[in-house]
Amino acid sequence: MSTAHVGVLALQGDTREHLAALREAGAEASTVRRVRELEAVDALVIPGGESTAMSHLLRELDLLEPLRSRLADGMPAYGSCAGMILLASEILDAGSAGREATPLKGIDMTVRRNAFGRQVDSFEDDITFGGVDGPVHAVFIRAPWVERVGPEVEVLAEAAGHIVAVRQGNRLATAFHPEMTGDRRIHKLFVSMLSE
Ligand code: GLN
């Protein structure tokens, strides 16, 4: 493939840092807020932010079904934090009735929203990450964890005894925010997955 064009879902959350990280990792990157922008990209990053607000906006902007159908057609995707929650097939503690985070079913996993947040709102940890050399400094902010993975899901990292990074084929998800640290190894991993 020539340079991959990666979209960053830009409804809410930390879009700018992902755009910068993707460009530094060698991809073309632009924001996605409309169906035609979603149709134009090869892959999508769903950033951190608030998964319930993003779900609401996806419905309001008529992006929910187009996004689900691109994922069902095999579009590569990477979700960090709120993005991990949205990529799940099942969400626990999804939010109050009528305002729930909606699973996009991109990865066969059950994710618990705000899971670490019940213990401590945010924390940082140096973690081992499968396929990446050396420790990764991970920033967790009201982060989810993964409670169940399907047979095709590879666990890439754990923190405090919980799964915090997974891969299923061309889908990647982290409970933490690599875009915030200046370390581009996770974005490089995702960009390299696009040419596999
Ligand atoms: N707690 C947020 C949610 O439920 C995720 C936090 C984050 O993305 N930093 O979506």
Query: Do residues 104 and 68 make contact, with C-beta atoms less than 8 angstroms apart?
Result: yes
Where do the structural domains in the chain lie, given as residue ranges?
3-192
Measured in whole angstroms, the distance separating CA 157 from the mean position of its chain's CA atoms is 14
Active site residue 81: yes
Q: Residue 47's CB: how many other CB atoms inside 10 A?
A: 25
- The residue with tokens 């998964």 is 51
pLDDT at 160 over 60: yes
Higher-confidence position of 121 and 28: 28
| Segment 59-87, tens digit of pLDDT | 999 999 999 999 999 999 999 999 999 99
The pTM for the full model equals 0.97
Residue 97 has pLDDT above 90, yes or no: no
Distance 50 CA to ligand 1 centre (A): 5
Taking residues 165-172, what's their average pLDDT? 98
Q: In the predicted model, is pLDDT for residue 22 greater than 80?
A: yes
What's the pLDDT band for 1 if we cut at 50, 70, 90?
A: low
Dist. CA 109 → ligand 1 center (Å)? 17
Which CATH code fits 3-192? 3.40.50.880
CA–CA dist 125, 30 (Å, integer): 30
CB of residue 83 inside a 6 A radius of ligand 1? no
Residue 179 annotated in active site? yes
Compute, in angstroms, the gap from residue 85 CA to the centroid of ligand 1: 8
pLDDT of residue 40: 98
Cβ–Cβ < 8 Å for 90, 104: no
Radius of gyration of the chain from its Cα atoms, rounded to whole angstroms: 15
Atom of ligand 1 nearest to the CA of 81: 8
